[in-house]
Amino acid sequence: MARGLPKVKPITGVKHIVLVASGKGGVGKSTTAVNLATSLKLIQPEKNIGLLDTDVFGPSIPLMMNLHDTPFLTKDNLMEPLVNYGVKCMSMGFLIAEGAPVIWRGLMVMQALEKLLRQVYWDSIDYLIVDTPPGTGDTHLSLVQNIPISGVILVTTPQSAAIEVTKRGAVMFQKLKVPIIGIIENMSGVKCPTCSSNIELFGKDVSALAKEIGTEVLQKIPLQQEITTSSDKGVPIVIARPDCEEAIAFRNFGKKVIEFIENIENG
Ligand SMILES: Nc1ncnc2c1ncn2[C@@H]1O[C@H](COP(=O)(O)OP(=O)(O)OP(=O)(O)O)[C@@H](O)[C@H]1O
């Protein structure tokens, strides 16, 4: 290894780390991470699931998981994750006052990330889902250089602007030798409230991108108002309306992620 590069070191107690990333902001990355983590717990209740929010500037997990307390410290000065829906969560949002802006330089962001990676008492976790900031920046590079990552999920909307940056993200992860588990096509269409036909809002074909980067579209998630309203209330759609089409789609996606991890475990 070149001098000065950090060494990849597991997070104590954590078996598998899955990143959720997107090129563009606002495409539903946190929504995907939250519904994936809660789906994994619903599908495999015996497993321990963690959700780590590494978006230091715009943490969404406290709102989406309805967690607003400050973590306790263990006697070894490690932060105890907060738990909801059976998922252990950690976020910068637990450590700063709600609504307060984070005005930090890069170095401070890296120190915060180090804290989130190394000073959390996860105890024992089978799958740690890591929500990342939008784009491909310092945080992504630091994650890849510091912790072993089983795979990454790319989230995009079927819109040229989003697809283009997703491709750049994919190339970055490929260069860094992080396996791409697949793509989530979010807001993939909207159901007409009168005739139920699918309206393709953005109209681009994400499967072409998937083919180009040698992966697959794991799941299409429609644009559905209830995803936003339940998410804003701190209840992921897979918990709020487990039988709706979107919740089934998220669970289906969760099964594919489990399959991917089990394939790694079985060599
Ligand atoms: N399929 C969907 N249907 C309806 N609303 C959605 C859907 N996916 C996400 N949203 C809503 O869109 C908004 C943005 O979603 P989210 O915060 O998950 O995106 P993000 O990519 O993580 O954003 P950021 O760039 O801030 O990290 C949220 O209000 C969320 O509830």
HSE-CB of 143 using CA atoms within 13 angstroms: 29
Atom of ligand 1 nearest to the CA of 246: 1
Residue owning the nearest CA to atom 23 of ligand 1: 26
Asked casually if ipTM beats, i.e. exceeds, 0.90, the reply is: yes
Residue 8 forms part of a structural domain: no
Question: What is the mean predicted confidence (pLDDT) over 204-220?
Answer: 93
Listed residue (202, 195, 192, 258) closest to 41, CA to CA: 258
pTM: 0.95
Mutate to test the pocket of ligand 1, among 228, 229, 235, 248 (most ligand atoms within 8 A of CB): 228
Say yes or no to pLDDT of 5 above 70. no
Number of domains in the chain: 1
146-161 pLDDT per residue, tens? 999 999 999 999 999 9
A 10 A CB-CB count for 9 gives 11
Token couple for 252: 């289906």
Residue owning the nearest CA to atom 25 of ligand 1: 25
Token couple for 125: 């976790």
Residue 168 forms part of a structural domain: yes
- The answer, yes or no, to whether any atom of ligand 1 lies below 6 A from the CB of 60, is yes
Residue 69 forms part of a structural domain: yes
Residue owning the nearest CA to atom 12 of ligand 1: 28
Q: What pLDDT does 4 receive?
A: 62
CATH number at residue 251: 3.40.50.300
163-192 pLDDT per residue, tens? 999 999 999 999 999 999 999 999 998 888
- The answer, yes or no, to whether any atom of ligand 1 lies below 6 A from the CB of 22, is yes
Domain ranges, residue 142: 14-265
